Protein backbone atom coordinates (compact mmCIF):
# COMPACT_ATOMS: atom_id res chain seq x y z
CA UNK A 1 0.00 0.00 0.00
CA UNK A 2 1.13 3.51 -0.77
CA UNK A 3 2.03 5.89 2.04
CA UNK A 4 3.74 5.59 5.42
CA UNK A 5 1.82 3.78 8.13
CA UNK A 6 -1.93 3.64 8.53
CA UNK A 7 -4.12 6.64 7.61
CA UNK A 8 -4.32 9.05 10.55
CA UNK A 9 -5.49 12.54 11.44
CA UNK A 10 -1.84 13.58 11.62
CA UNK A 11 -1.42 13.02 7.89
CA UNK A 12 -4.28 15.46 7.24
CA UNK A 13 -2.90 17.94 9.80
CA UNK A 14 0.52 18.07 8.11
CA UNK A 15 -1.04 18.58 4.67
CA UNK A 16 -3.12 21.53 5.93
CA UNK A 17 -0.25 23.08 7.89
CA UNK A 18 2.21 23.05 4.99
CA UNK A 19 -0.31 24.41 2.46
CA UNK A 20 -1.43 27.37 4.52
CA UNK A 21 1.98 28.04 6.00
CA UNK A 22 3.18 28.59 2.42
CA UNK A 23 0.31 30.99 1.72
CA UNK A 24 0.75 32.74 5.06
CA UNK A 25 4.34 33.61 4.14
CA UNK A 26 2.98 35.57 1.17
CA UNK A 27 0.53 37.73 3.16
CA UNK A 28 2.65 40.89 3.13
CA UNK A 29 4.10 40.49 -0.43
CA UNK A 30 0.60 39.81 -1.83
CA UNK A 31 -0.75 43.07 -0.40
CA UNK A 32 2.06 45.05 -2.03
CA UNK A 33 1.79 43.28 -5.41
CA UNK A 34 -2.00 43.68 -5.41
CA UNK A 35 -1.76 47.44 -5.05
CA UNK A 36 1.09 47.76 -7.56
CA UNK A 37 -0.83 45.69 -10.13
CA UNK A 38 -4.17 47.49 -9.64
CA UNK A 39 -3.22 50.95 -8.32
CA UNK A 40 -6.52 52.65 -9.14
CA UNK A 41 -9.14 50.10 -8.15
CA UNK A 42 -7.29 47.93 -5.66
CA UNK A 43 -10.24 47.00 -3.45
CA UNK A 44 -12.59 46.39 -6.36
CA UNK A 45 -10.16 44.03 -8.09
CA UNK A 46 -9.35 42.26 -4.83
CA UNK A 47 -13.06 41.69 -4.27
CA UNK A 48 -13.59 40.38 -7.78
CA UNK A 49 -10.59 38.03 -7.59
CA UNK A 50 -11.57 36.57 -4.23
CA UNK A 51 -15.27 36.54 -5.20
CA UNK A 52 -14.66 34.53 -8.36
CA UNK A 53 -12.48 32.11 -6.42
CA UNK A 54 -15.11 31.70 -3.71
CA UNK A 55 -17.97 31.12 -6.16
CA UNK A 56 -15.97 28.57 -8.17
CA UNK A 57 -15.10 26.73 -4.94
CA UNK A 58 -18.77 26.69 -3.94
CA UNK A 59 -19.81 25.30 -7.33
CA UNK A 60 -17.09 22.64 -7.57
CA UNK A 61 -16.93 21.33 -3.99
CA UNK A 62 -19.82 18.81 -4.28
CA UNK A 63 -18.52 17.40 -7.57
CA UNK A 64 -14.98 16.97 -6.24
CA UNK A 65 -16.40 15.37 -3.10
CA UNK A 66 -18.48 12.94 -5.12
CA UNK A 67 -15.52 12.05 -7.32
CA UNK A 68 -13.31 11.47 -4.27
CA UNK A 69 -15.88 8.92 -3.09
CA UNK A 70 -15.13 6.98 -6.30
CA UNK A 71 -11.43 7.56 -6.89
CA UNK A 72 -10.20 7.90 -3.32
CA UNK A 73 -9.00 10.81 -1.19
CA UNK A 74 -5.27 10.77 -1.87
CA UNK A 75 -5.51 11.68 -5.56
CA UNK A 76 -7.83 14.60 -4.77
CA UNK A 77 -5.67 15.81 -1.90
CA UNK A 78 -2.86 15.95 -4.43
CA UNK A 79 -5.04 17.72 -6.99
CA UNK A 80 -6.44 20.36 -4.62
CA UNK A 81 -3.11 21.18 -2.97
CA UNK A 82 -1.37 21.43 -6.35
CA UNK A 83 -3.89 23.83 -7.86
CA UNK A 84 -4.27 25.86 -4.66
CA UNK A 85 -0.51 26.43 -4.53
CA UNK A 86 0.02 26.74 -8.32
CA UNK A 87 -0.20 30.58 -8.31
CA UNK A 88 2.61 31.02 -5.76
CA UNK A 89 5.66 31.05 -8.10
CA UNK A 90 3.80 33.34 -10.54
CA UNK A 91 3.89 36.26 -8.09
CA UNK A 92 7.35 37.32 -9.25
CA UNK A 93 7.04 36.00 -12.81
CA UNK A 94 3.83 37.79 -13.84
CA UNK A 95 1.49 39.48 -11.31
CA UNK A 96 -1.36 39.50 -13.83
CA UNK A 97 -1.11 35.74 -14.34
CA UNK A 98 -0.70 35.34 -10.58
CA UNK A 99 -4.10 36.89 -9.84
CA UNK A 100 -5.75 35.25 -12.84
CA UNK A 101 -4.63 31.78 -11.72
CA UNK A 102 -5.76 32.54 -8.15
CA UNK A 103 -9.27 33.21 -9.48
CA UNK A 104 -9.41 30.08 -11.63
CA UNK A 105 -7.81 27.92 -8.90
CA UNK A 106 -11.08 28.24 -6.98
CA UNK A 107 -12.34 25.27 -9.02
CA UNK A 108 -9.91 23.02 -7.11
CA UNK A 109 -9.26 25.14 -3.98
CA UNK A 110 -11.39 22.92 -1.77
CA UNK A 111 -8.69 21.20 0.25
CA UNK A 112 -10.72 21.34 3.43
CA UNK A 113 -13.61 19.41 1.90
CA UNK A 114 -11.28 16.56 0.97
CA UNK A 115 -9.39 16.72 4.28
CA UNK A 116 -12.63 16.52 6.27
CA UNK A 117 -13.65 13.51 4.16
CA UNK A 118 -10.24 11.94 4.83
CA UNK A 119 -10.69 12.45 8.57
CA UNK A 120 -14.27 11.11 8.44
CA UNK A 121 -13.01 7.91 6.78
CA UNK A 122 -10.63 7.08 9.63
CA UNK A 123 -12.48 8.26 12.75
CA UNK A 124 -15.52 7.09 14.64
CA UNK A 125 -18.43 9.49 14.95
CA UNK A 126 -17.70 10.35 18.59
CA UNK A 127 -14.06 11.18 17.69
CA UNK A 128 -14.85 13.31 14.68
CA UNK A 129 -15.51 16.65 16.37
CA UNK A 130 -12.18 16.53 18.16
CA UNK A 131 -10.40 15.53 14.95
CA UNK A 132 -11.96 18.39 13.00
CA UNK A 133 -11.04 20.73 15.84
CA UNK A 134 -7.41 19.60 15.57
CA UNK A 135 -7.41 20.28 11.81
CA UNK A 136 -8.94 23.72 12.34
CA UNK A 137 -6.48 24.59 15.11
CA UNK A 138 -3.60 23.57 12.85
CA UNK A 139 -4.94 25.87 10.13
CA UNK A 140 -5.11 28.75 12.61
CA UNK A 141 -1.64 27.99 13.98
CA UNK A 142 -0.08 28.08 10.50
CA UNK A 143 -1.48 31.58 9.95
CA UNK A 144 -0.46 32.81 13.39
CA UNK A 145 3.27 32.52 12.72
CA UNK A 146 3.78 32.48 8.93
CA UNK A 147 2.79 36.11 8.06
CA UNK A 148 5.27 37.42 10.62
CA UNK A 149 8.04 35.20 9.23
CA UNK A 150 7.23 36.27 5.66
CA UNK A 151 7.21 39.97 6.59
CA UNK A 152 10.58 39.69 8.35
CA UNK A 153 12.26 37.76 5.52
CA UNK A 154 10.80 40.18 2.96
CA UNK A 155 12.21 43.20 4.77
CA UNK A 156 15.64 41.65 5.33
CA UNK A 157 16.19 39.73 2.10
CA UNK A 158 13.48 40.81 -0.35
CA UNK A 159 10.15 39.36 -1.45
CA UNK A 160 11.78 37.06 -4.03
CA UNK A 161 13.22 34.91 -1.26
CA UNK A 162 9.80 34.69 0.39
CA UNK A 163 8.22 33.52 -2.88
CA UNK A 164 10.96 30.90 -3.37
CA UNK A 165 10.52 29.66 0.20
CA UNK A 166 6.73 29.47 -0.15
CA UNK A 167 7.10 27.57 -3.42
CA UNK A 168 9.52 25.12 -1.78
CA UNK A 169 7.11 24.48 1.11
CA UNK A 170 4.25 23.92 -1.36
CA UNK A 171 6.40 21.39 -3.25
CA UNK A 172 7.26 19.72 0.05
CA UNK A 173 3.54 19.39 0.75
CA UNK A 174 2.95 17.77 -2.65
CA UNK A 175 5.85 15.37 -2.10
CA UNK A 176 4.53 14.50 1.35
CA UNK A 177 1.15 13.57 -0.15
CA UNK A 178 2.80 11.47 -2.87
CA UNK A 179 5.17 9.61 -0.55
CA UNK A 180 3.75 9.58 2.97
CA UNK A 181 -0.05 9.94 2.84
CA UNK A 182 -1.89 6.59 2.63
CA UNK A 183 -5.31 6.25 1.07
CA UNK A 184 -8.09 6.51 3.67
CA UNK A 185 -11.10 5.29 1.71
CA UNK A 186 -11.44 1.51 2.12
CA UNK A 187 -11.50 -0.48 -1.10
CA UNK A 188 -14.82 -2.06 -0.16
CA UNK A 189 -16.49 1.36 -0.10
CA UNK A 190 -15.44 2.24 -3.63
CA UNK A 191 -17.37 1.25 -6.76
CA UNK A 192 -16.10 -1.73 -8.71
CA UNK A 193 -14.65 0.46 -11.45
CA UNK A 194 -13.53 4.04 -12.05
CA UNK A 195 -16.33 4.35 -14.55
CA UNK A 196 -19.00 4.52 -11.83
CA UNK A 197 -21.51 7.22 -12.72
CA UNK A 198 -21.79 10.47 -10.75
CA UNK A 199 -25.36 11.76 -10.62
CA UNK A 200 -26.26 15.43 -10.93
CA UNK A 201 -27.80 15.26 -7.45
CA UNK A 202 -24.37 14.49 -6.02
CA UNK A 203 -22.71 17.34 -7.93
CA UNK A 204 -25.45 19.96 -7.47
CA UNK A 205 -24.02 22.77 -5.28
CA UNK A 206 -27.53 24.15 -4.64
CA UNK A 207 -28.94 20.82 -3.45
CA UNK A 208 -28.75 21.82 0.21
CA UNK A 209 -30.12 25.33 -0.37
CA UNK A 210 -33.27 23.97 -2.03
CA UNK A 211 -34.46 22.60 1.32
CA UNK A 212 -34.15 25.87 3.26
CA UNK A 213 -37.82 26.83 3.16
CA UNK A 214 -39.19 23.48 4.32
CA UNK A 215 -39.19 24.42 8.01
CA UNK A 216 -39.69 27.87 9.53
CA UNK A 217 -37.04 27.37 12.22
CA UNK A 218 -34.50 26.19 9.65
CA UNK A 219 -35.36 29.23 7.54
CA UNK A 220 -34.68 31.57 10.48
CA UNK A 221 -31.34 29.90 11.21
CA UNK A 222 -30.26 30.03 7.57
CA UNK A 223 -31.22 33.71 7.20
CA UNK A 224 -29.24 34.49 10.35
CA UNK A 225 -26.19 32.65 9.00
CA UNK A 226 -26.44 34.38 5.61
CA UNK A 227 -26.83 37.93 7.00
CA UNK A 228 -24.02 37.48 9.52
CA UNK A 229 -21.52 35.54 7.39
CA UNK A 230 -21.86 37.65 4.23
CA UNK A 231 -20.06 40.65 5.80
CA UNK A 232 -17.62 38.35 7.59
CA UNK A 233 -16.52 36.74 4.32
CA UNK A 234 -16.12 40.15 2.70
CA UNK A 235 -14.21 41.48 5.68
CA UNK A 236 -11.73 38.60 5.71
CA UNK A 237 -11.03 39.05 2.00
CA UNK A 238 -10.14 42.74 2.19
CA UNK A 239 -9.35 43.69 5.76
CA UNK A 240 -5.60 43.10 5.75
CA UNK A 241 -5.33 45.09 2.52
CA UNK A 242 -7.37 47.83 4.22
CA UNK A 243 -4.98 47.87 7.20
CA UNK A 244 -1.93 47.99 4.94
CA UNK A 245 -3.02 50.54 2.36
CA UNK A 246 -5.54 52.76 4.15
CA UNK A 247 -4.69 52.62 7.87
CA UNK A 248 -0.93 52.71 7.25
CA UNK A 249 0.00 49.46 9.02
CA UNK A 250 3.48 48.14 8.25
CA UNK A 251 3.93 44.56 7.03
CA UNK A 252 5.07 43.57 10.52
CA UNK A 253 2.03 45.23 12.10
CA UNK A 254 -0.33 43.35 9.78
CA UNK A 255 1.43 40.07 10.63
CA UNK A 256 1.19 40.84 14.35
CA UNK A 257 -2.49 41.72 13.96
CA UNK A 258 -3.18 38.34 12.29
CA UNK A 259 -1.30 36.53 15.05
CA UNK A 260 -3.07 38.29 17.91
CA UNK A 261 -6.50 37.95 16.29
CA UNK A 262 -5.91 34.24 15.64
CA UNK A 263 -4.83 33.52 19.22
CA UNK A 264 -7.74 35.48 20.71
CA UNK A 265 -10.19 33.72 18.36
CA UNK A 266 -8.93 30.30 19.43
CA UNK A 267 -9.41 31.27 23.09
CA UNK A 268 -12.88 32.68 22.35
CA UNK A 269 -14.01 29.56 20.47
CA UNK A 270 -12.81 27.18 23.17
CA UNK A 271 -12.76 28.54 26.72
CA UNK A 272 -15.11 31.53 26.39
CA UNK A 273 -17.64 29.69 24.21
CA UNK A 274 -17.78 26.80 26.66
CA UNK A 275 -18.38 29.11 29.63
CA UNK A 276 -21.07 31.10 27.82
CA UNK A 277 -22.93 28.01 26.63
CA UNK A 278 -23.14 26.72 30.20
CA UNK A 279 -24.02 30.05 31.81
CA UNK A 280 -26.39 31.90 29.46
CA UNK A 281 -27.54 29.19 27.06
CA UNK A 282 -27.23 28.48 23.36
CA UNK A 283 -29.49 31.15 21.88
CA UNK A 284 -28.20 33.94 24.12
CA UNK A 285 -24.62 33.02 23.13
CA UNK A 286 -25.59 33.46 19.46
CA UNK A 287 -27.16 36.84 20.22
CA UNK A 288 -24.09 37.93 22.19
CA UNK A 289 -21.78 36.90 19.35
CA UNK A 290 -23.87 38.87 16.85
CA UNK A 291 -23.76 41.87 19.19
CA UNK A 292 -19.97 41.71 19.30
CA UNK A 293 -19.89 41.43 15.50
CA UNK A 294 -22.04 44.57 15.10
CA UNK A 295 -19.75 46.45 17.49
CA UNK A 296 -16.53 45.44 15.76
CA UNK A 297 -17.86 46.19 12.26
CA UNK A 298 -19.10 49.64 13.33
CA UNK A 299 -15.75 50.29 15.01
CA UNK A 300 -13.88 49.29 11.86
CA UNK A 301 -16.21 51.46 9.78
CA UNK A 302 -15.77 54.66 11.80
CA UNK A 303 -12.24 53.99 13.05
CA UNK A 304 -9.54 56.25 11.65
CA UNK A 305 -6.60 55.47 13.95
CA UNK A 306 -4.48 52.29 14.21
CA UNK A 307 -5.28 51.81 17.92
CA UNK A 308 -8.97 51.64 17.01
CA UNK A 309 -8.24 48.75 14.66
CA UNK A 310 -6.43 46.86 17.41
CA UNK A 311 -9.26 47.44 19.88
CA UNK A 312 -11.89 46.39 17.35
CA UNK A 313 -9.80 43.29 16.55
CA UNK A 314 -10.18 42.10 20.15
CA UNK A 315 -13.96 42.49 19.81
CA UNK A 316 -13.81 40.66 16.46
CA UNK A 317 -12.24 37.67 18.20
CA UNK A 318 -15.23 37.52 20.55
CA UNK A 319 -17.63 37.65 17.61
CA UNK A 320 -16.14 34.39 16.29
CA UNK A 321 -18.28 32.44 18.78
CA UNK A 322 -21.41 32.97 16.66
CA UNK A 323 -21.09 30.18 14.11
CA UNK A 324 -20.00 27.43 16.56
CA UNK A 325 -22.97 28.42 18.73
CA UNK A 326 -25.32 28.19 15.72
CA UNK A 327 -23.93 24.76 14.85
CA UNK A 328 -24.36 23.61 18.43
CA UNK A 329 -27.97 24.80 18.42
CA UNK A 330 -28.64 22.82 15.23
CA UNK A 331 -26.92 19.67 16.50
CA UNK A 332 -28.89 19.78 19.77
CA UNK A 333 -32.31 20.44 18.29
CA UNK A 334 -32.24 18.46 15.03
CA UNK A 335 -33.11 14.78 15.00
CA UNK A 336 -30.28 12.35 14.36
CA UNK A 337 -31.39 11.67 10.79
CA UNK A 338 -31.74 15.41 10.07
CA UNK A 339 -28.24 16.49 11.11
CA UNK A 340 -26.69 16.16 7.68
CA UNK A 341 -29.56 18.00 6.01
CA UNK A 342 -29.44 21.10 8.20
CA UNK A 343 -25.65 21.22 8.50
CA UNK A 344 -25.46 20.89 4.73
CA UNK A 345 -27.72 23.90 4.30
CA UNK A 346 -25.61 26.03 6.64
CA UNK A 347 -22.37 24.94 4.96
CA UNK A 348 -23.85 25.70 1.54
CA UNK A 349 -24.90 29.19 2.62
CA UNK A 350 -21.44 29.90 3.99
CA UNK A 351 -19.90 28.70 0.75
CA UNK A 352 -22.17 31.03 -1.22
CA UNK A 353 -21.20 33.93 1.07
CA UNK A 354 -17.51 33.22 0.41
CA UNK A 355 -18.16 34.19 -3.19
CA UNK A 356 -20.66 37.02 -2.72
CA UNK A 357 -19.05 38.73 0.30
CA UNK A 358 -15.66 39.69 -1.21
CA UNK A 359 -17.26 40.95 -4.44
CA UNK A 360 -19.80 43.00 -2.46
CA UNK A 361 -17.12 44.60 -0.27
CA UNK A 362 -14.96 45.45 -3.28
CA UNK A 363 -17.93 47.02 -5.04
CA UNK A 364 -18.84 49.16 -1.99
CA UNK A 365 -15.24 50.34 -1.63
CA UNK A 366 -15.37 51.30 -5.31
CA UNK A 367 -18.70 53.17 -4.98
CA UNK A 368 -17.43 55.24 -2.05
CA UNK A 369 -14.07 55.95 -3.76
CA UNK A 370 -11.99 54.45 -0.97
CA UNK A 371 -8.69 54.35 -2.81
CA UNK A 372 -5.19 55.77 -2.42
CA UNK A 373 -4.02 58.95 -4.10
CA UNK A 374 -0.39 57.83 -4.09
CA UNK A 375 1.66 54.68 -3.91
CA UNK A 376 2.90 53.78 -0.43
CA UNK A 377 6.36 55.03 0.48
CA UNK A 378 9.06 52.45 1.19
CA UNK A 379 9.19 51.31 4.77
CA UNK A 380 11.77 52.77 7.11
CA UNK A 381 14.59 50.51 8.37
CA UNK A 382 12.70 50.05 11.62
CA UNK A 383 9.81 48.53 9.66
CA UNK A 384 7.33 51.36 10.13
CA UNK A 385 5.44 52.81 7.20
CA UNK A 386 5.40 56.48 6.37
CA UNK A 387 1.81 57.00 7.40
CA UNK A 388 1.62 60.46 5.88
CA UNK A 389 1.39 58.92 2.44
CA UNK A 390 -1.74 56.91 3.36
CA UNK A 391 -4.89 58.94 3.14
CA UNK A 392 -8.40 58.70 1.82
CA UNK A 393 -9.98 60.63 -0.96
CA UNK A 394 -11.57 63.84 0.29
CA UNK A 395 -15.02 62.77 -0.87
CA UNK A 396 -14.96 59.70 1.34
CA UNK A 397 -16.89 60.70 4.47
CA UNK A 398 -16.68 57.32 6.22
CA UNK A 399 -13.26 55.57 6.40
CA UNK A 400 -14.69 52.05 5.94
CA UNK A 401 -18.14 52.09 4.27
CA UNK A 402 -18.37 48.28 3.69
CA UNK A 403 -17.91 47.63 7.39
CA UNK A 404 -20.88 49.85 8.23
CA UNK A 405 -22.94 48.02 5.61
CA UNK A 406 -21.85 44.79 7.29
CA UNK A 407 -22.92 46.12 10.69
CA UNK A 408 -26.41 46.82 9.30
CA UNK A 409 -26.57 43.32 7.81
CA UNK A 410 -25.59 41.72 11.15
CA UNK A 411 -28.16 43.90 12.94
CA UNK A 412 -30.82 42.35 10.70
CA UNK A 413 -29.37 38.92 11.54
CA UNK A 414 -29.70 39.75 15.25
CA UNK A 415 -33.36 40.71 14.82
CA UNK A 416 -34.05 37.46 12.93
CA UNK A 417 -32.19 35.40 15.56
CA UNK A 418 -34.47 36.78 18.29
CA UNK A 419 -37.27 34.66 16.82
CA UNK A 420 -35.30 31.39 16.91
CA UNK A 421 -36.66 29.27 19.79
CA UNK A 422 -34.17 27.94 22.32
CA UNK A 423 -35.54 24.39 22.22
CA UNK A 424 -37.35 22.90 19.25
CA UNK A 425 -37.28 19.94 16.91
CA UNK A 426 -36.21 20.74 13.38
CA UNK A 427 -38.24 18.92 10.76
CA UNK A 428 -36.75 18.87 7.29
CA UNK A 429 -37.68 16.19 4.80
CA UNK A 430 -34.51 14.33 3.98
CA UNK A 431 -35.78 12.78 0.73
CA UNK A 432 -32.83 11.43 -1.20
CA UNK A 433 -30.37 13.36 0.94
CA UNK A 434 -28.06 10.41 1.47
CA UNK A 435 -27.34 10.47 -2.23
CA UNK A 436 -26.09 14.05 -2.20
CA UNK A 437 -25.41 15.03 1.40
CA UNK A 438 -23.44 18.24 0.98
CA UNK A 439 -20.07 17.63 -0.57
CA UNK A 440 -19.85 13.85 -0.12
CA UNK A 441 -22.33 11.07 -0.41
CA UNK A 442 -21.00 8.18 1.67
CA UNK A 443 -22.11 7.47 5.26
CA UNK A 444 -18.99 9.05 6.73
CA UNK A 445 -19.68 12.33 4.98
CA UNK A 446 -18.04 15.39 6.54
CA UNK A 447 -21.46 17.02 6.52
CA UNK A 448 -21.87 15.46 9.94
CA UNK A 449 -22.18 17.94 12.81
CA UNK A 450 -18.43 18.04 13.25
CA UNK A 451 -17.97 19.85 9.96
CA UNK A 452 -19.47 22.93 11.52
CA UNK A 453 -16.18 23.40 13.31
CA UNK A 454 -14.66 25.09 10.28
CA UNK A 455 -11.40 27.01 10.36
CA UNK A 456 -11.37 30.48 11.84
CA UNK A 457 -10.50 31.89 8.46
CA UNK A 458 -11.56 30.66 5.06
CA UNK A 459 -9.36 29.78 2.16
CA UNK A 460 -10.24 33.08 0.49
CA UNK A 461 -8.83 35.02 3.40
CA UNK A 462 -5.26 34.41 2.33
pLDDT at 291: 93
- For domain 1-185, give the fold: Growth Hormone; Chain: A; (1.20.1250)
Quick one: pLDDT at residue 227? 93
Q: What is the pLDDT of residue 459?
A: 44
pLDDT at 288: 93
Instruction: Output the pLDDT for position 375.
Output: 42
Flag whether the pTM goes above 0.85: no
Which one is the CATH code of 211-371+399-421: 1.20.1250.20, 3.40.190.10, 3.30.465.10, 3.10.20.30? 1.20.1250.20
Return the pLDDT at 414. 94
pLDDT for 394: 38
- pLDDT, residue 330, reads 73
Output the pLDDT for position 453.
41
The whole-number pLDDT of residue 409 equals: 93
Residues of 205-223 as b/e, b for ≥16 C-beta within 10 angstroms? bebbbebbeebebbebbbb
* Average pLDDT by stretches of 10, the chain with 462 residues: 75 90 88 84 85 84 78 85 90 88 84 79 70 73 82 87 93 91 68 56 72 78 89 84 81 85 81 85 89 91 84 85 78 60 70 85 81 47 40 52 91 92 61 42 42 41 36
CATH 1.20.1250.20, the chain: domain bounds: 1-185, 211-371+399-421
Amino acid sequence: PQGIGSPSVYHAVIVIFLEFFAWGLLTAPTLVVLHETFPKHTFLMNGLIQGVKGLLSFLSAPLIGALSDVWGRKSFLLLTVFFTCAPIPLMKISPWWYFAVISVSGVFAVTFSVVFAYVADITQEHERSMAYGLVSATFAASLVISPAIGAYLGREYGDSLVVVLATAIALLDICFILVAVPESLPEKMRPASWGAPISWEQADPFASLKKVGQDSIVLLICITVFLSYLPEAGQYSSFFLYLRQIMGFSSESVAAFIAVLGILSIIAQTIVLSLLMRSIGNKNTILLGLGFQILQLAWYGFGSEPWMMWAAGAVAAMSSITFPAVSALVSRTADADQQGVVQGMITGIRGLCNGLGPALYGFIFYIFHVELNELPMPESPSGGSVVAQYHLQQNSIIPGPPFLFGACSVLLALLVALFIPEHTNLNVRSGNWKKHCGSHGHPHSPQAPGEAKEPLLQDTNV
